[in-house]
């Protein structure tokens, strides 16, 4: 099976069309026009604007480019270029024919894309308006739910629906149930009816139940969409100045062999398939930090914080989808810590500039992708390490941190202002706060801490001297990869994001539970399950026991 790649750009889109504002009103249009004949893999057709991973890869790219390349855009209409259909949701035949790991990873990636819309709305001043010009079902309605406003055509037949429970024996896979009640405030009893009503709701009833924000007949629908979009653009706080910064291709070098390698400019990955481990190394910048905003803009997409964390993001996706057998990722850094800290000073000093703001939030999203990765994560703090500032977050995201204590080869860690909530986890808190050591931040910023100091500050899981370090780490790796991957995934998901929940943590927590459970139950994916028999004349056969 060919590996999946996650890079694209608008001229290569097969399923979306991005229309930029031409009259200065700040309104862009992102139109879904799924090419049925170009699924990610052969074996199914993407009918009725149904989507697979290839459709979402393009959507994620479009949202990213709107943030970085088009600061003039202040509102985005998410609509359909197809007549009388918005989106039928995830392609059922794709799901039914896919293996369990792919189904779960597909749902996770799709939901990360939905969250990217909400992140752009919250932090970039972009307003997303879903223009549902036809039936909007399942994942199509979940896409609309991720937007700030939902407008539905009132033509007597178009509905919004979440039909997964009655039709497929599964649940909406990208946060639909949570967003209906937590984001839109739909009454619990009405949400219960809605989620078990395969045909969905239309028109005035959808308005009454808070499932949509506006309706209009076909003759006036485009006028309603245009009016709402222009109003949203006029109210936006987004910097209206340009030009934007073009995101160039990452194009890592791939080397096959017993140990497969991915090499980017600042990130390297070595994949040891025989031992089910990968080593992910991030290199510190080698150049001086740019002077002021002009220097930053001159570097553009090559600026280290943006380039390095885009590479990290891409590497994590490749590991997730293309290397399912890898169970443990060793996290390492290399380079000079002072250069990382200098770049962090620049990131903090110019945080109010639109481009720097976007870079900071891109870094945060990449780190949350790391937090949300279903792999064990061990950080290795050795003499060549530079776990400082924004790169310290890499170590803090790990399940364990192994640090060498050797006076002859000292290892240090140091924090910066970027560790003070600038790169939050899904629950909105810093990783230091999550570890329960946020009170150490002033001292960690003030000076570098050696191994003993880092251990005293609560940053180290295992401290070992030069005699024991290698063996201690080796034994820990061997033990970890010998354990049940299912149990580890559940355990890690429980431990990585402690404290109060947010909508995002609810979505991911439930996603991990129900997709890893319901997708393996015979009521859904067995030979007589609802998902397996979808579109066939046979009726599903259920095991009626509740467990």
CB 127 within 8 A of CB 233: yes
What's the topology of domain 254-491? 2-enoyl-CoA Hydratase; Chain A, domain 1 (3.90.226)
* CATH fold for the domain made of 10-235: 2-enoyl-CoA Hydratase; Chain A, domain 1 (3.90.226)
**Residue 131: its H or E element:** strand 127-132
**Considering only 86-95, 183-192, 305-314, 509-518, which range has the smallest mean pLDDT?**
509-518
How does residue 512 score in pLDDT terms, banded at 50, 70 and 90?
low
Answer for the pair 278, 99: CB distance below 8 angstroms, yes or no: no
Smallest CA-to-CA distance from 327 within 275, 281, 280 is with 275
pLDDT top residue among 63 and 496: 63
Residue 114, both tokens: 């939905």
Contact assessment for residue 501 and residue 427, using Cβ atoms and an 8 Å cutoff: yes
- Which tens digit of pLDDT belongs to each residue from 324-346? 999 999 999 999 999 999 999 99
What is the rounded distance in angstroms from the CA atom of residue 135 to the CA atom of residue 213? 16
The rounded Cα 547 to chain-centroid distance in angstroms is 31
Contact between residue 140 and residue 83 where contact means Cβ atoms under 8 Å apart? no
For 45-61, what is each residue's pLDDT tens digit?
A: 999 999 999 999 999 99
Enter the tokens of residue 401. 């941190």
Predicted local distance difference test score (pLDDT) of residue 408: 94
Give the gyration radius of the chain's Cα atoms: 24
Q: Does residue 413 have a cis bond before it (omega within 30 degrees)?
A: no
Mean pLDDT of the chain: 94
Q: Considering the chain, what percentage of its residues have pLDDT values greater than 70?
A: 99
Contact call for residues 383 and 406 (beta carbons, < 8 A): yes
What's residue 300's pLDDT? 97
Arithmetic mean of pLDDT, 259-271: 97
Model confidence band, residue 513 (pLDDT cutoffs 50, 70, 90): low
What's the confidence (pLDDT) of residue 545? 82
Question: How confident is the model at residue 418, as a pLDDT?
Answer: 98
Q: Which residue has the higher pLDDT, 159 or 545?
A: 159
Domain parsing of the chain, residue ranges? 10-235, 254-491
Per-residue pLDDT band at 249 (split at 50, 70, 90): very high
Buried b (16+ CB within 10 A) or exposed e, 305-339: bbbbbbbbbbbbbbbbbbbbebbbbbbbbebebeb
Q: Would the pLDDT of 406 be above 70?
A: yes
Specify the pLDDT at position 523: 87
> What pLDDT, on a 0 to 100 scale, did the predictor assign at position 20?
95
DSSP 3-state assignment of 149?
strand
C-alpha–C-alpha distance, residues 378 and 358, integer Å:
29
Confidence of residue 173 (pLDDT cuts 50, 70, 90): confident
- Mean pLDDT over 179-194 rounds to 97
Predicted local distance difference test score (pLDDT) of residue 84:
93
* Confidence grade of residue 205 (pLDDT, cut at 50, 70, 90): very high
| Per-residue CA distances from 151 to 141, 219, 365 (Å) | 11, 14, 28
Q: Are 284 and 333 contacting, i.e. CB atoms less than 8 angstroms apart?
A: yes
The stretch 208-224 carries a mean pLDDT of 98
Most confident option among 18-32, 232-246, 492-506: 18-32
- Give the mean model confidence (pLDDT) for residues 96-117: 92
| Backbone dihedral angles phi then psi of residue 438, each to the nearest 5 degrees | -65, -25
Q: Whose structure tokens read 């229309």?
A: 19
Domains 10-235 and 254-491 alike in fold = yes
- The residue behind tokens 């049940």 is 484
Q: What is the pLDDT of residue 122?
A: 95
Residue 514 has pLDDT above 80, yes or no: no
pLDDT band at 518 (very low <50, low <70, confident <90, very high): confident
Q: How far apart are CA 236 and CA 124, in angstroms?
A: 9
- Write down the residue that tokens 């359909």 correspond to: 80
The string of pLDDT tens digits covering residues 123-145 is 999 999 999 999 999 999 999 99
- pLDDT value at residue 294: 94
């Amino acid at each position: 099976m060919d590996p999946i790649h996650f890079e694209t750009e608008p001229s290569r889109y097969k399923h979306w069309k991005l229309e930029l504002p031409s009259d200065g009103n700040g309104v862009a249009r992102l139109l879904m026009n799924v090419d049925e004949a170009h699924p990610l893999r052969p074996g199914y057709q993407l009918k009725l604007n149904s989507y697979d991973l290839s459709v979402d890869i393009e959507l994620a790219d479009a949202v990213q480019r709107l943030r970085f390349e088009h600061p003039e855009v202040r509102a985005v209409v998410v609509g359909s270029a197809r007549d009388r259909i918005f989106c039928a949701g995830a392609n059922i035949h794709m799901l039914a024919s896919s293996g369990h790991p792919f189904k779960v990873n597909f749902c996770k990636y799709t939901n990360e894309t939905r969250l990217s819309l909400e992140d752009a709305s919250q932090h970039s001043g972009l307003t997303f308006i879903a223009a549902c010009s036809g039936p909007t079902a399942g994942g199509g309605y979940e896409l609309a739910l991720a937007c700030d406003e939902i407008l539905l055509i009132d033509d007597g037949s178009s509905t919004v629906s979440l039909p997964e429970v009655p039709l497929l024996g599964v649940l909406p896979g990208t946060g639909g149930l949570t967003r209906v009640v937590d984001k839109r405030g739909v009454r619990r009893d009405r949400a219960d009816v809605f989620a078990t009503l395969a045909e969905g709701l239309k028109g005035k009833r959808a308005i009454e139940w808070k499932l949509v924000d506006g309706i209009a007949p076909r003759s006036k629908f485009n006028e309603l969409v245009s009016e709402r979009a222009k109003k949203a653009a006029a109210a936006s706080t987004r910097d209206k100045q340009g030009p934007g910064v073009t995101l160039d291709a990452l194009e890592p070098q791939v080397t096959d062999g017993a140990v497969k390698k991915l090499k980017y400019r600042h990130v390297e990955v070595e994949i040891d398939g025989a031992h089910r481990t990968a080593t992910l190394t991030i290199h510190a910048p080698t150049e001086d930090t740019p002077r002021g905003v002009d220097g930053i803009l001159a570097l553009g997409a090559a600026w280290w914080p943006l380039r390095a964390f885009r590479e990290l993001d891409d590497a994590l996706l490749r590991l997730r989808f293309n290397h399912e057998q890898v169970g443990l990722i060793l996290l390492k850094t290399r380079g000079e810590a002072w250069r990382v800290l200098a770049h962090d000073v620049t990131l903090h000093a110019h945080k109010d500039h639109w481009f720097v703001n976007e870079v900071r939030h891109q870094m945060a999203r990449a780190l949350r992708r790391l937090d949300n990765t279903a792999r064990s994560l061990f950080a290795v703090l050795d003499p060549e390490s530079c776990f400082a500032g924004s790169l310290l977050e890499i170590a803090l995201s790990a399940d364990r941190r192994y640090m060498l204590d050797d006076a002859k080869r000292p290892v240090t860690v140091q924090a910066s202002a970027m560790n003070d909530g600038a790169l939050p986890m899904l629950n909105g808190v810093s990783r230091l706060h999550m570890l329960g050591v946020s009170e150490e931040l002033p001292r960690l910023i003030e000076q570098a801490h050696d191994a003993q100091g880092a251990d005293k500050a609560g940053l180290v899981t295992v401290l070992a001297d030069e005699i024991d370090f290698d063996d201690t780490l080796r034994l820990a790796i061997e033990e970890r990869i010998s354990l049940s991957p299912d149990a580890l995934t559940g355990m890690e998901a429980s431990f990585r994001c402690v404290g109060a929940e947010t909508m995002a943590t609810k979505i991911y927590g439930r996603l991990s539970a129900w997709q890893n459970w319901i997708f393996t139950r015979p009521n859904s994916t067995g030979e007589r399950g609802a998902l397996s028999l979808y579109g066939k004349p046979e009726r599903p056969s259920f095991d009626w026991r509740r467990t």
